[in-house]
Structure 1
């Protein structure tokens, strides 16, 4: 394959930070080239330079052998470089066809748009992707997978030669991810080149031809995917070998801390389970299975319509998050940016938010005690931040997640609920978060982890409960050896209620 893109000696600095240092990046025509690195490695900056969002400080860019200047997104689009961002750029109340041609409606005749011709052309673009979507459908009515397809159709309308896909599978179900991969393969057949950015290593191995690794703003390696395995790729990303802990299959006994009996809300039905002291309990299921909804019921976000919860043997009523917090619960939510953190506040303010009463004496807050404990937690959790006064929004995703976890450490919560704890964070931050969770239970806390990554739950959990259509359909006490049964229950609901 001939080279379609070459970025040579790219440098980019921001105040106090060298984001890219003499980075080389080249892509062959018609390949799926994966780009990966820890948060802060420089991959997003490099792609924003290619997309015309950031100007480069130094270096050269060549497309199909010709030197080009990309100074804004319009330049990139004109040259056939299209970016599909993690947060899609669709207008929900407009139709599929209107979104595809938004900003570039088909050439109007006599000053009028031919809506019939626009719909026909939009349908032809959708049909090229091999998926049945009615272009007159409002985007708001589409699944996340179909919205992703509309974004790809927009790229085709822009005569894309290179499509940059930034974490495209974050909000997709497993079935939608498989459909996305099929469409990507179809685009490759049509001569389009894909740059694929993802923290999910299994996706890179499933679809990628080659991979480029960045670390600390520098190029580390470009390899054929076939030359690597997950362990060797992880070592390239973080710069050292990850020694995975050997989990024992011995059945451990955890004295019961919490028991839920026949819980029902609008989204879950007849859910019963127990959580032991010092246990890590996993919740697995496909998108819509009810994992998040169960955590919300426990935390008082969703009201119970039936059932009861017992804590240390005593029946309790949790009708609000504030009540859950007072009872010793903490929640690390799936969407950390909108539900777990206040990005406009500092690290310190976020970390101490639910625990101000711990630092008050006679109704007066003691700032010195707060600063001391925050500094201790920043060191303990290895939060990478200039200082505790840095705005939360300026941290990477992994470091934001660690600050959110620190809230519940400072609050001294005894039950912590994690919803997709490593979503969108790099492999190095994942391992750090796993160690934090294991340290929490070693110090006496109990943890429930809801995740769509079965490997994650197998690595850290003592038990896994599988949810299907709002119910628990399986309990697995030796999860490392029961992957196929776990997956079967998640997909079909299983053939029996319990499989231990």
Structure 2
């Protein structure tokens, strides 16, 4: 394979931070080159330099052997380097065809756009990807997977040579991920090169040819993926050998803490289950199965139309998050940036938000007690922040997640609900979050974890409940030994109870 892209001795600094230090990164034409590193490793900065968002301080960029300068995203696109961001840049109320040609409509004749020609060309681009999508459909009516395909069609319209895909599978179902991989393979056949960024190691091994690892703003390694395994790649990413957390197969003595009986909302139907004291209970299912909706029902976000919730044998009415907090429940939501944190407030303000009453005496809040406890939690949870007054938005995703968890530790919640707790965080932070969950239960809390990652649930849960179309269809009491049955239940909706 010939080299299509070379970034040589790239350095970039921000006030007080050396984001990149003499980084070398080269990509061969027609390969899927994966780029990985812990949060703060420098991969986003490197790609933003390539995309023309940031100017580099030092170094050179070569495209097809020629030295180039990307001083703006328009320069990058003109040279054939296209970025597909995690948050898609589509206009929901416009059609597929209009989105594909947005900003670069086909050459008008006599001052008018030929919509017939535009739709025809848009359909040809979609057809190149091998997926049946009507280009007259408004984007708002598409699934997330099909929206991703529209973004790829936009890249083809821009005559892409190199496509940067930043966490492309975050919001996709398993079927949509398989479709995405099929399309990537088709793009490679057409001579297009892919730079693939993801925290999900299994995806890298499934689709990638080579991988480049960055750590602390420096190049660590570039290797063929078939010469590595997950353990060795993890060691390159974090810089030391990770000891996998192994959940004890011994079941805790079951003492019921929470019981849900025949819960109904607009999204879930006839859901019944129990949660034991000191238990980690998993919720698994495909996208749309009802995992998030069940957590929202328990937390009082979605009102119950029928059913009952019991705590310590007593029925409780939870019709708002404030009621849930008062009875000892906390939620770590799927979307931490919009639902779990206030990015414009400090770490300290976020951490104490639901627990101010704990630090009040006669209506007067003790800032000294607050700061002392928050300092303890920052140390205990290994939150990487300059200080507690740093804005939440300046932290990495993994550290934001740990601050959100700290809210419920400070509140001393007895039940904590986690929705996709490690989504978008690096492998090191992921293992730290697993340790935090295990410590929570060791200290007497109970945990419900909803996740689309079956391996994650197998690693940390005592039991796994499988959801399908808004209902619980399976219970697995030895999840580490039942992966195939769990997956089958999630796909088919077959009711299963495992007593082993």
TM-score category of the 2 structures, normalised to the smaller one: over 0.9
Match in the other structure for 1:315: 315
Equivalent position of 1:435 in the other structure: 435
**Structure 1 residue 287, shift from structure 2 partner:** 0.3
CA contact (8 A) 2:31 2:209 kept: yes
The answer on whether the counterparts of 2:258 and 2:275 sit within 8 Å (CA) in structure 1 is: yes
Structure 2 residue 127 is the aligned partner of structure 1 residue 127: yes
Q: Which residue of 1 aligns with 2:497?
A: 498
Deviation per residue, 1:325-367 (Å, 9 max, x gap): 0000000000001000011111100000000000111001111
User: Structure 1 CA distance, aligned partners of 2:470 and 2:498?
Assistant: 18
Displacement of 1:497 after TM fit?
A: 4.4
Contact 2:350/2:392 (8 A) holds in 1: yes
Q: Distance in 1 between matches of 2:393 and 2:217?
A: 20
Structure 2 portions without partners, runs of 5+: none
Contact (CA 8 Å) 2:125, 2:157: kept in 1 or not? yes
Q: Find the counterpart in structure 1 of residue 422 from structure 2.
A: 422
Alignment partner, residue 401 of structure 1: 401
Q: Is the Cα contact below 8 Å between 2:478 and 2:498 reproduced in 1?
A: no
CA distance in 2, matches of 1:64, 1:249: 54
Determine if contact 2:249/2:462 at 8 Å carries over to the other structure: no
* Partner Cα separation in structure 2 for residue 37 and residue 29 of structure 1: 22
CA distance, structure 1, for counterparts of residue 344 and residue 248 of structure 2 = 44
SS at 2:498's partner residue? coil
Match runs of 1:117-196 below 5 Å: 117-196=117-196
User: Which residue does 2:83 correspond to in 1?
Assistant: 83
- Cα distance in 1 between the residues matched to 2:432 and 2:469: 32
C-alpha deviation, 1:498, in angstroms: 2.4
Aligned to 2:452: 452
Is residue 485 from structure 1 mapped to residue 469 from structure 2 by the alignment?
no
2:201 aligned residue: 201
1:303 has 2:303 as partner? yes
Correspondence for 2:353: 353
Contact 2:303 2:319 in 1 (8 A): yes
The answer for the alignment partner of 2:370 in structure 1 is 370
Partner of 1:284: 284
1:250 positional shift: 2.9
SS across alignment from 2:104: coil
State the alpha-carbon separation in 2 of the partners of residues 83 and 102 from structure 1: 16
SS of residue matched to 2:339: helix
1:278–1:251: structure 2 CA closer, same or farther, 3 Å change rule? Answer: closer
Q: Which residue of 2 is the match for residue 2 of structure 1?
A: 2
Question: What root-mean-square deviation, in Å, do the aligned CA atoms of Structure 1 and Structure 2 show?
Answer: 0.7
CA distance in 2, matches of 1:349, 1:87: 27
**Counterpart Cα distance in 1 of 2:361 and 2:251:** 45
Q: Give how far 1:255 is off.
A: 1.0
Deviations 1:205-228 (A, max 9, x none): 000000000000000000000000
SS at match of 2:438: helix
Equivalent residues in 2 for 1:238-257, closer than 5 Å:
238-257=238-257
1:375-406 CA distance string (max 9 Å, x none): 11111111111111111111110000000000
Q: Which runs of 4+ in 1 moved over 4 A?
A: none
Cα distance in structure 2, aligned partners of 1:248 and 1:172: 31
1:331 matched residue in structure 2 = 331
2:49 & 2:149 partners in 1: Cα distance?
25
Tell me how many residue pairs correspond in the alignment.
499
How far is the alpha carbon of 1:249 from its aligned partner?
2.7
Aligned to 2:121, the other structure's residue is in SS state helix
Structure 1, unmatched stretches of 5+, are none
> Following the alignment from structure 1 to structure 2, what is the Cα–Cα distance between the partners of residues 75 and 469?
46
Conserved? CA contact 2:3–2:28, under 8 Å: yes
Query: Counterparts of 1:398 and 1:248 in 2: how far apart (Å)?
Result: 25
Distance 2:471 2:117 in 1: 47
Offset of residue 248 of structure 1: 3.5
In the other structure, the counterpart of 1:391 is: 391
CA–CA distance in 2 between the matches of 1:141 and 1:383?
A: 40
Asked if the contact 2:252/2:279 (under 8 Å) is kept, the reply is no
- Residue 251 of structure 1: CA displacement? 3.2
Report SS of the residue matched to 2:134. coil
1:111 to partner: Cα distance: 1.0
Cross-structure match for 2:263: 263
The TM-score normalised by the length of structure 1 is 0.99
Distance, in Å, in 2 between the alignment partners of 1:481 and 1:9 is: 48
What are the Cα deviations for residues 275-321 of structure 1, in whole angstroms up to 9, with x where unaligned? 01100000000000000000001000011111111100111110110
**Residue 237 (structure 2) pairs with residue 210 (structure 1):** no
